[in-house]
Amino acid sequence: MFVLPEFFQLLQQCLDNVVLLTYDTTFHLGDFYVTILVLQLGAFSECLLVPIAFMLHERNIQRTHSDFCDSISKFLSASAKSRPLHVCTDSESGCSNALQQTFPNWIILNCWNHIIGDVEC
């Protein structure tokens, strides 16, 4: 797991603005998974994207995502954890369940790109 603490401070400073987090996992990079948490700051004219945490893992199961969320939680302030932040996910149940258990006040949204991809299959 790789966490960039300074960007969690940026998140804290921007909580009063439009903030969207994206939590996504990909397996198109090798024989492993990469999960990333991205901070999207809508207060900027070009919607600044800031990766704030990464995880490399061999199995894409809920327990792995729960461990990642627990690690992320250690860097967040109580106000960031308790606010209804919007988190866009790839709609995988392991990711969504881990986020919901660790951050029950966050609002989990499904990514439109993944929804379209699921419909096309």
Domains of the chain, residue spans: 2-120
Structurally, at CATH architecture level, domain 2-120 sits in: 2-Layer Sandwich (3.30)
Report the Cα 22 to chain-centroid distance in Å. Answer: 4
Q: Express each pLDDT in 91-117 by its tens digit.
A: 788 899 999 999 999 999 987 554 455
pLDDT tens-digit profile of 34-74? 999 998 876 555 667 888 899 999 888 899 999 999 999 99
- Give the whole-angstrom CA distance, residue 109 versus residue 89: 6
Tell whether pTM > 0.85. Answer: no
d(CA 28, CA 51): 18
